[in-house]
Amino acid sequence: MREIRNATREDWLTRRMVGIGASDAPIILGLSKYKSPFGLYHEKLGLEPAPLEEVEAAAWGLALEGPLADRFSIETGRKTLAPPVHAIYQHDDVDWALASIDRWQEHTSDTGSTLLVPLELKTSNWALDKDWLEEAPLAYQVQVQHQMWVTGAPMCSIAVLIGGQKFRWCDIARDDDFIAVLSATESEFWQRCLDHQAPPIDDSVRTAETLKRLYATETGEVIAL
């Protein structure tokens, strides 16, 4: 794992566009409620901006990271550490595999050694409370598996604030079999970005929204579907 420090948030955002980050992983697998692989592809190529509601949600999530990390430490007794501002982490062998870490946490391994492993911090609204009843939503589990792949960590934790009032957290173990499938699927997607070959158009609402923005003006061209 290599740590890349960026001078500004704009530099950090630009760096994210030249690789695949943890939040991209569930989108590529088709597990995101908010974005399709088709839309993500056009974002990576700079042809589709991030939706305004996504920017707003990210801003609030960033503002609440500190209080969430503090509550996690109180609940678990684990010390947390903020990474350098605007830092991004890169896989040792795969340049396009990137991860942004909300917090590092101290983890004691079976051998008694202390490691720093990722802590992912989330905010959610009340409507999604049921998604957290038994375990973290699948999309978030995929996200942290990507983080463990990039960082080499043996485990990761997710903490969430639901509706501004309910706090939950869980540990997730590294799954190397799943990571092998995930990394292969991400590699195929990234090659599409390099070759400028968009993923197949699916019937999702998010893909339809992307198409409407990309082709907002009538040109007279007829495309056979």
**Which band of pLDDT confidence, cut at 50, 70 and 90, is reported for residue 169?**
very high
- Give me the pLDDT at residue 51, please: 61
pLDDT of residue 58 exceeding 80: no
**Mean pLDDT along residues 42-50:** 83
- 188 vs 208, more confident: 188
Using alpha carbons, select from 36, 26, 38, 22 the residue that is nearest to residue 90: 22
Strands (E) across the chain are located at 2-5, 80-81, 87-90, 98-99, 103-108, 114-124, 155-162, 166-173
Supply the pTM of this predicted model: 0.87
Model pLDDT for residues 60-95, shown as the tens digit of each residue: 778 889 999 999 999 999 999 999 999 999 999 999
d(CA 198, CA 158): 32
pLDDT tens digit sequence for 96-110:
999 999 999 998 877
- Angular region, 118: left φ>0, alpha ψ -120 to 50, beta rest: beta
Q: How far apart are CA 197 and CA 193, in angstroms?
A: 6
- Indicate left, alpha or beta for 160 from its phi (over 0: left) and psi (-120 to 50: alpha): beta
14 contacts 97 by C-beta, under 8 angstroms: no
pLDDT band at residue 50 under the 50/70/90 scheme: low
- Banded pLDDT at 128 (limits 50, 70, 90): confident
Residue 167 has pLDDT above 90, yes or no: yes
Exposure of 10 by Cβ count < 10 A (0-12 exposed, 13-18 middle, 19+ buried)?
A: exposed
What letter does residue 135 receive in the DSSP assignment?
Answer: S
Looking at residue 7, its pLDDT comes to 83
